[in-house]
Amino acid sequence: MSILIDNASRVLVQGITGREGGFHAGRMLASGTNVVAGVTPGHSGETVQGVPVFDSVHEAVAHIRADVALIFVPAPRARDALFEAADAGIKLIVCITEGIPVRDMAEVMAHLPRREARLIGPNCPGLITPARCSAGIMPSEIFMPGAAGVVSRSGTLTYEVVHELTQAGIGQSTAVGMGGDAVHGIGFIECLELFEADRETEGIALIGEIGGDDEERAAQFIRDHMTKPVVAYVAGHSAPPGRRMGHAGAIVEGTSGTAATKQAALEAAGIPVAASPSELARLLGEAIKRRRTT
């Protein structure tokens, strides 16, 4: 099994005629993902990498069934693209776009529950269920199917941790890059709930970074609700206070949101915190082996 996407998922790419949208649509197709349609206003009737293009998500859904929308639309138009996907009935929306204004995302997050739509992102690498479906920009060649769930605020660290897991022979069930913006869709707790219910997932790698309190809230949830082992890694121990580090949400305010406070909260909940991605892979592999023998 997996969470959120699998080989039955049908992916629609908003912004497919753009450079990034077309490039990653090709990579997803090469990995075996079922990319069924693209959307760019004014380009109806064209094809990209053999994928038919429509003027709107509503038009695409009317002609070709899709259940996942992947958004590569520039930030000034991303809000409208997110509304369009939800209003057309898409239930899982993955927004790669970065730099979307906070007010726009606040409006989007108020609207999506009305349409019963879930959001990954924005400013994220997407998600992948190895050998089944890739919805985003993750390099599928470093992944392998297996029992480790991965959820991360950092795209680059996701790739590094997954590479270490794969090199250690530890495959992945699904990897979710939730993004690092201050206002975002699915977070650690939602993914942990899904991994806990997934029969295939036997352990979870949680990758955090400075800013906000997502990791602290995840620590409480793991302590109170998780039966499967979780191993964490938190980036940003050397980040200076008051300076944003990469992501819009990765900023330390005073003593709040530091890597040290996040690590302390996780360890207080009984969650091992690795000092490096390679150590995370080793600790998670050992935890999964222990689980199988008990």
Which of the residues are catalytic? Answer: 247
The CB-side HSE value for 161 (13 A sphere, CA atoms) comes to 35
Nearest 5°: phi and psi at 267?
A: -65, -35
Contact, 145 vs 171, CB < 8 A? yes
d(CA 85, CA 146) in angstroms, rounded, equals: 31
The C-alpha atoms of residue 45 and residue 63 are separated, in whole angstroms, by 12
CA distances from 35 to 10, 51, 69, 94 (A): 6, 7, 10, 14
Tell me the C-alpha distance between 36 and 62, whole Å: 12
Q: Is the peptide bond before 122 cis (omega within 30 degrees of 0)?
A: yes
Which residue has tokens 């997407």?
126
Which token pair is 78? Answer: 């991303």
Pairing of strands 51-54, 68-71: unpaired
DSSP 7-18: TT--EEEETTTS
Q: CA torsion angle for 270, 271, 272, 275 (degrees, to 10)?
A: -130
